Amino acid sequence: MAKDKDSSKMLGKEYEKALRKLQVELCILQDWVKREGERVIVVFEGRDAAGKGGLIKAITARVSPRVFRIVALPAPSDREKTQIYLQRYFRHFPAAGEIVIFDRSWYNRAGVEYVLGFCSREEHRRFLDLCPEIESYVASSGIKLIKYWLEVSDKEQERRFSARINDPLRQWKLSPTDLFSRSKWYDYSRARDLMLQATDTKIAPWHIVRSDDKKRARLNCISHLLSILPYERKPVKKYEVGERMCSWVQYLSLHTLAQIH
C-alpha cells in the first residue's frame, strides 16, 4: 500500500469529511454484498497498539452488524485447545451476504503463540506450511479473503503504551501480555517476517498499513478495501414517509381490533 507523501497529522474536520465519504461507500458495498450474496473475510493483524480496534470501529460505525460481523476471540478454552487449531475460527466464517472482520485471527499461531511459547516450533512450522493451502481452499470456495498487517514503529508503540498506562479510560486495553511484548520487539519482528514470507501468496496476499498516523491509516485502509472489492452502485430506492392516521373512523377501527385481540 502506498505511503502518503505528506506525513503531517490530519486535522479533525479534514479527517471526518474524508471518513464520511468512505463510510457512504461502505454502505453501498454493504448493499452489494447483501444483493449478490457475497462472502467476504477481512483479517486484521499487527503489533500491539497498532490501531486495529480504531480502524475496525471506523469501518463498522455506519453499517449493519448483521452484514459486517466482528470476530474477536478470547484465549482458547481447555476444550478448544484439544481441537484442530483452525476449528474455532471456521465456525465464524461468513454465509451469503456477510462480511466477517477478524480482529486477530488464526495468525495468532504465527505471532503471539510462537513468540511467547504457547505453541511448539513444530506446530508453528506446520501452520506456516499448511496455511497457504487452507486459504487457497477458502478462496476457491468463493470467499473473498483480504489480509491486512498494521505496522507501528517502536517509538510510536512505546508512546501509545505509556498513554494507556496513564489514562484510566484506556487502561483496560493493556494486559500483561501486551506489556511483555515490548521486550520482545525483535522476536515479533522476526516472527512477522517468517509469516509474511510463508503466507503472502497471490491468492491471499498481505497488505501492509503504516499506522503511526492513525487517521491516515484508517483512510488508506478503507480506500484500499473498497478498491479491491468489485462492488456496484445501484439506484437507491426512494421512500416516502406515510401520513399518520388521524380520523376518528380509523382510530375506532384500530381500537376495536385491539380489544378483539
- Residue 99 β-bridge partners: 40, 68
Q: Which domain holds residue 37?
A: 12-260
Residues 181-213: pLDDT tens digits? 788 999 999 999 999 999 999 999 999 999 999
Phi, psi of 30, rounded to the nearest 5 degrees: -60, -45
pTM, rounded to two decimals: 0.87
What pLDDT, on the 0 to 100 scale, is given for residue 3?
44
Distance in angstroms (rounded) separating the CA atoms of residues 252 and 234: 42
Specify if 28 maps to a domain.
yes
What pLDDT, on the 0 to 100 scale, is given for residue 8?
55
Specify if 4 maps to a domain.
no
Q: How confident is the model at residue 16 (pLDDT cuts 50, 70, 90)?
A: very high
At 232, which CATH number?
3.40.50.300
Name the domain count of the chain.
Answer: 1
Specify if 236 maps to a domain.
yes
Average pLDDT estimate for 89-105: 98
Specify if 95 maps to a domain.
yes
Starting at the earlier edge strand, list the strands of the sheet with 68-71: 68-71, 98-103, 39-46, 144-151, 206-210
Q: Are 102 and 44 in contact (CB under 8 A)?
A: yes
What residues have CB less than 8 Å from 226, skipping those under 6 apart?
A: 22, 25, 26, 29
CA nearest to 100, candidates 76, 81, 140, 72: 72
Specify if 143 maps to a domain.
yes
What pLDDT, on the 0 to 100 scale, is given for residue 249?
59
Query: Nearest 5°: CA angle at 151, between 219 and 94?
Result: 65
Distance in angstroms (rounded) separating the CA atoms of residues 199 and 126: 12
Percent of the chain surpassing pLDDT 70: 89
pLDDT score of 5 more than 50: no
Specify if 6 maps to a domain.
no
Specify if 92 maps to a domain.
yes
pLDDT higher for 170 or 96?
Answer: 96
Residues 130-184: pLDDT tens digits? 999 999 999 999 999 999 999 999 999 999 988 888 888 888 877 777 777 788 9
Tell me the average pLDDT of the chain: 90
pLDDT score of 2 more than 50: no
Which residues in 115-126 are b (16+ Cβ under 10 Å) and which e?
Answer: beebbeeeebee
Average pLDDT estimate for 115-131: 97
Could you tell me the three cell numbers for 218? 484508517
DSSP-derived pairing of the beta strands 68-71 and 98-103: parallel
